[in-house]
């Protein structure tokens, strides 16, 4: 799967010209806390050398909008991604 994303990045997402993705992700508070905990740990823990994975950095220019809202104890992340 990593090679798929590496190819997309190398070709500047040209295979997805005109792509538009909009969505909403409902998140429970405990999931947000877990995610934040992992994020903070990642900031303070050096990345293992040779660890495979795809960096999110090349995808960031495609993110046109992100908003967070809470309703009835559920946090929603709304987003728009366009290529």
Q: Which residues contact 64 (CB under 8 A, 6 or more apart)?
A: 80, 81, 82
pLDDT at 61: 82
Decide which of 2 and 77 is more confident.
77
Distances (CA, A) of 62 to 12, 15, 17, 74: 11, 14, 11, 26
pLDDT of residue 49: 54
CB 80 within 8 A of CB 20: yes
Alpha-carbon gap, residue 68 to 61, rounded angstroms:
19
Q: pLDDT by residue (tens digit) across 16-64?
A: 888 888 888 888 878 877 876 776 666 555 555 555 555 667 777 888 8
23 or 12, higher pLDDT: 23
- The domain ranges of the chain are 2-45+53-82
pLDDT reported for residue 15: 83
Third-level CATH fold of 2-45+53-82: Cell Cycle; Chain A (3.30.1070)
Q: What is the pTM of this model?
A: 0.46
């Amino acid at each position: 799967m990593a090679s798929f994303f590496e190819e997309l990045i190398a070709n500047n997402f040209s295979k997805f010209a005109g792509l538009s993705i909009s969505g909403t992700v409902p998140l429970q508070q405990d999931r947000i806390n877990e995610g934040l905990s992992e994020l903070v740990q990642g900031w303070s823990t050096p990345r293992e050398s040779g660890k495979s994975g795809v960096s999110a950095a090349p995808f960031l220019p495609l993110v046109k909008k992100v908003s967070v809202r809470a309703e009835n104890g559920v946090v929603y992340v709304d987003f728009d991604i366009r290529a």
